[in-house]
């Protein structure tokens, strides 16, 4: 199977008994797999109890599946059921708990949980904000937004001092595209396999026809160039001199953890200068320490005009994202505070989360931790995958805590995800690269949980190889 949502609702009508993990009431079979570390919270781990999701007995939560079917959507309902039908209700650190007592080691989360789930300092700050002033009038000044902007700008590349807070990554992309328009830059150059969100503007620069086609026409004058190919970019820039905005990721996350050659970002920067283009670097997935540096651009000492931030900025607690820009780039938004607004943008509660996250990262040296942990995990994952290298597995690559396992066949991604879920580990597929499974572990993961992950990955790979060959 692939992990994309089913395209029709027909399977939903078979009811939640079709192809599901064990019901919560069914005791798990004993297994030789390691159990969760004893220092962790007492909830029983799901490894290795559940039969493989998607193949075994009826689901744990048919009632929730049914509500999804009736009120959220059949595709999501069927997908949840295929994944085992579990309902997640609690989280802390690297763990997500289901309502049947199983728990899952979260090495996915679409890259959000660099600080784990519900970082205590962020939770405390958000509680305090709720008890005082969660949402603002938007007429008076908001001190939390001002302090959060200051804290974030203290870590962005020099000169990127102006922060426009929003509630999602796609909104940060929208803000950047509109900022470019405000400068009269009406063309956008994006990269193949690039991912920048799914709102209409962001979707126009997210290079995936599956998501784009149903919504055409999108923004006009968008050019896709090859990633990691300065010559292709130069050709596009030459055709759009003084009227383009370039949007690029330091490492393509949804594009399958594609790491460009050293020097690429620097070349992009130089080309944008030469051809009068605004450079927007999308660090929504790669920023906040994910690559072992605060930002992917730090590795090459590149200063974009605009930097997009999201995911990790939440501290795993409150959705918040931001567009950060130089004074020159930001000038149109600076002059007119009503040019691009949103009722809930820069809310005190979201900014309290962002502020507490940045401070916690400083105190815990999260970036250094990610830098040290990333290569260790990458090496260990490579070792676990080594027996399958050249067969099932094509390549294991990564930077910091963004790691991709590329398979020879697309089917392996879905199979391995299900094998991992049934053993209590959550990971992600890659939306723009269907043969790549993505790992985005938190920087707070301890050795015991890491060992558990690696042992589980080994067992899941064996299960996947057996299924695909047998």
Rounded CA separation 69/80 (Å): 10
196 is an interface residue for ligand PLP by CB under 6 A: yes
Name the minimum Å distance from CB 170 to ligand PLP.
3
Q: Measured from the CB atom, is 4 or 448 closer to ligand PLP?
A: 4
Classified as helix, coil or strand, 262 is coil
Measured in whole angstroms, the distance separating CA 415 from the mean position of its chain's CA atoms is 21
Rounded CA separation 335/408 (Å): 52
Rounded CA separation 169/319 (Å): 9
Q: What is the 3-state secondary structure (H, E, C) of 363-415?
A: HHCHHHHHHHHHHHHHHHHHHHHHHHECCCEEEEEEECCEEEEEECCCHHHHH
Alpha helices in 29-83 (DSSP H): 62-67, 74-82
Rounded CA separation 305/286 (Å): 17
Q: 168 φ, ψ to 5°? A: -155, 165
Name the minimum Å distance from CB 443 to ligand PLP.
18
Q: Which position among 284, 297, 378, 459 is part of the footprint of ligand PLP (CB under 6 A)?
A: 284
Pattern 254-273, binding to ligand PLP, x per CB under 6 A? x-------------------
Contact present, 9 and 78 (Cβ < 8 Å): yes
Classified as helix, coil or strand, 187 is strand
Q: Measured from the CB atom, is 366 or 440 closer to ligand PLP?
A: 440
How many Cα atoms within 13 Å fall on the side-chain side of residue 63?
Answer: 1
310 is an interface residue for ligand PLP by CB under 6 A: yes
428 is an interface residue for ligand PLP by CB under 6 A: no
Contact present, 369 and 134 (Cβ < 8 Å): no
Dihedral sign for Cα 21, 23, 28, 29, please: negative
Name the minimum Å distance from CB 254 to ligand PLP.
5
344 is an interface residue for ligand PLP by CB under 6 A: no
Rounded CA separation 262/191 (Å): 17
Name the minimum Å distance from CB 252 to ligand PLP.
8
174 is an interface residue for ligand PLP by CB under 6 A: no
Name the minimum Å distance from CB 285 to ligand PLP.
4
Pick out residues in 38-77 that bind ligand PLP (CB under 6 A). Answer: none
110 is an interface residue for ligand PLP by CB under 6 A: yes
Q: Measured from the CB atom, is 431 or 449 closer to ligand PLP?
A: 431
Rounded CA separation 91/106 (Å): 10
Name the minimum Å distance from CB 211 to ligand PLP.
12
Q: Measured from the CB atom, is 195 or 295 closer to ligand PLP?
A: 195
330 is an interface residue for ligand PLP by CB under 6 A: no
Q: Measured from the CB atom, is 74 or 430 closer to ligand PLP?
A: 430
Pattern 128-167, binding to ligand PLP, x per CB under 6 A? ----------------------------------------
Q: Which position among 45, 168, 440, 456 is part of the footprint of ligand PLP (CB under 6 A)?
A: 168
Q: 422 φ, ψ to 5°? A: -65, -20
253 is an interface residue for ligand PLP by CB under 6 A: yes
Binding range to ligand PLP, per CB under 6 A, among 27-35, 150-158, 282-290, 387-395: 282-290
What helix, strand, coil percent values describe the chain, rounded to 5?
Answer: 40, 15, 45
Contact present, 410 and 385 (Cβ < 8 Å): no
Question: If you ran DSSP here, which 8-state letter would residue 198 be given?
Answer: S
404 is an interface residue for ligand PLP by CB under 6 A: no
Q: Which position among 170, 175, 288, 405 is part of the footprint of ligand PLP (CB under 6 A)?
A: 170
Name the minimum Å distance from CB 64 to ligand PLP.
23
397 is an interface residue for ligand PLP by CB under 6 A: no
285 is an interface residue for ligand PLP by CB under 6 A: yes
Give the footprint of ligand PLP on this chain (CB under 6 A): 110, 168-170, 173, 195-197, 249, 253-254, 282, 284-285, 310
């Amino acid at each position: 199977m692939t992990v994309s949502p089913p395209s029709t609702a027909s399977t939903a009508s078979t009811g939640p008994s079709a192809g599901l993990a064990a019901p919560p009431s069914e005791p798990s079979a004993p297994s030789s797999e390691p159990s969760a570390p004893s220092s962790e919270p007492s909830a029983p781990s799901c490894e290795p109890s559940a039969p493989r999701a998607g193949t075994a007995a009826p689901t744990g939560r048919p009632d929730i599946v049914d509500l999804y079917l009736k009120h959220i959507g059949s595709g999501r309902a069927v997908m949840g059921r295929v994944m085992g039908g579990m309902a997640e209700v609690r989280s802390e650190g690297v763990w997500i708990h289901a309502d049947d007592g199983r728990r899952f080691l979260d090495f996915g989360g679409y890259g959000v949980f660099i600080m784990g789930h519900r970082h205590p300092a962020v939770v405390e700050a958000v509680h305090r904000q709720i008890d005082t002033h969660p949402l603002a009038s938007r007429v008076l000044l908001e001190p939390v937004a001002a302090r959060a902007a200051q804290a974030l700008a203290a870590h962005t590349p020099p000169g990127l001092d102006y922060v426009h807070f929003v509630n999602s990554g796609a909104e940060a992309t929208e803000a950047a595209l509109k900022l470019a328009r405000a400068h009269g830059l009406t063309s956008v150059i994006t990269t193949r396999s690039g991912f920048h969100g799914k709102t209409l503007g962001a979707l126009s620069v997210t290079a995936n026809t599956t998501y784009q086609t149903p919504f055409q026409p999108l923004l006009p004058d968008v050019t896709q160039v090859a990633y990691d190919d300065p010559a292709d970019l130069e050709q596009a820039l030459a055709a759009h001199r003084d009227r383009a905005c370039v949007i690029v990721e330091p490492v393509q996350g949804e594009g399958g953890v594609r790491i460009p050659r050293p020097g690429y970002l620097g070349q992009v920067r130089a080309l944008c200068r030469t051809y009068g283009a605004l450079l927007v670097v999308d660090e929504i997935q790669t920023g906040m320490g994910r690559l072992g540096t605060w930002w992917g651009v730090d590795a090459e000492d590149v200063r974009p005009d605009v930097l997009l931030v999201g995911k990790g900025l939440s501290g795993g607690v409150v959705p918040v994202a931001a567009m950060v820009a130089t004074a020159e780039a930001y000038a149109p938004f600076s002059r007119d505070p009503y040019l691009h607004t949103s009722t809930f943008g820069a809310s005190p509660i979201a900014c309290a989360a962002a502020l507490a996250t940045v401070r916690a990262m400083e105190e815990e040296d999260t970036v250094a931790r990610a830098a040290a942990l990333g290569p260790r995990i990458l090496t260990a994952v490579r070792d676990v995958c080594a027996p399958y290298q050249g067969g099932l597995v094509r390549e294991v690559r990564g930077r910091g805590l963004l790691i991709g396992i590329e398979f020879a066949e697309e089917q392996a991604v879905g199979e391995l995800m299900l094998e991992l879920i049934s053993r209590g580990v959550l990971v992600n597929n890659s939306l723009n690269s269907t043969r790549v499974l993505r790992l985005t572990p938190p920087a707070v993961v301890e050795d015991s949980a890491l060992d558990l992950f690696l042992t589980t990955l080994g067992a899941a790979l064996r299960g996947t190889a057996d299924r695909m060959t047998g």
